[in-house]
Amino acid sequence: MVLQDRAKATREAIVAGAAVVFEEHGYGNASLTQVSEAARVTKGALYFHFQSKEDLAKAVIEEQHRIVMAHSEAILGGNQPGLTTMILMCRAFGLQLIHEPVVKAGIRLTFEAATFGQPVRGPYEDWIAAMERLTTQGKNERQIRSSIDPAALARYIVASFTGVQMVSDVLTGRTDVMQRIEEMWALLLPGLMHEDFHEEPSALSRLISTGESRLKRAALL
């Protein structure tokens, strides 16, 4: 058991070190020597767990997806309305892109996946499926217009978020990513909110900056 725990800790350290290296240098310029130094493990320990740089990149992407999905599941368990949950999920993902090295590296690697022959569909498909379910929920709750196609809106939101965070990364290193995500929702909401849903679009989009604190204050009123 001690050996298993040690092996698990070593593997986690290698993935964390790889995330730092991949996020800074990209897949093409990263080396396994840099990874072993960042993880503070020997080359032998690294090769025991990962046979190649490609295997390591895949592991970082898988860990990034696990982290994002774990946060998403926590938000989904909060019993918020569908549209509200969609916004909070985008907020959580944006914060992870600022604060979580593995998430930042995993997202960079998804854009570079063709370099190491690893098409990355799963994370996008999972996110689109979640947004489609939440859109249907939002329609049933009369937050979202009945005319909205859930599948089309889900694809559009995921594509919009992906583009917004990527442009933010290029222009500012994501220092303004939360503001840009909030702007995205401010533009989308007037066109998709149900006519019987009387929340102000600007108030909903501000969930990106205020988060659950606003919801808690509202629950006390």
* Euclidean distance between CA atoms 189 and 181, whole angstroms: 12
Range of the domain at 84: 57-220
Residue 15 lies in a domain: no
Residue 22 lies in a domain: no
What is the structure's pLDDT at 100? 92
Which distant-in-sequence residues (6+ apart) come within 8 Å of 87 by Cβ? 185, 204, 205, 207, 208
Residue 212 lies in a domain: yes
**What are the per-10-residue average pLDDT scores of the chain (221 residues)?**
74 93 90 92 90 90 89 84 95 94 90 71 88 96 96 97 95 95 96 92 93 50 36
Which distant-in-sequence residues (6+ apart) come within 8 Å of 138 by Cβ? 81, 82, 83, 86, 144
What is the structure's pLDDT at 118? 65
Strand partners, 54: none
Nearest to 179 by CA among 94, 96, 103: 94
Tokens of 121: 């569909």
183-209: string of b/e by CB count within 10 Å (b at 16+)?
A: ebbeebbeebbbeebeeebeebbbbbe
Nearest to 108 by CA among 171, 160, 162, 157: 162
Residue 40 lies in a domain: no
Q: What is the pLDDT of residues 153-164, one digit of tens each?
A: 999 999 999 999
55 CB-side CA count, 13 A: 10
This prediction's pTM? 0.83
Question: How many structural domains is the chain composed of?
Answer: 1
What is the structure's pLDDT at 219? 40
What is the structure's pLDDT at 221? 36
First to last CA, the chain: 52
What is the structure's pLDDT at 218? 42
Residue 149 lies in a domain: yes
Residue 207 lies in a domain: yes
Residue 163 lies in a domain: yes
Read off the CATH number of the domain in which 134 is found: 1.10.357.10
Backbone angles phi, psi at 52, to 5 degrees: -155, 170
Residue 154 lies in a domain: yes
Burial label for 139, CB within 10 Å (0-12, 13-18, 19+), is: buried
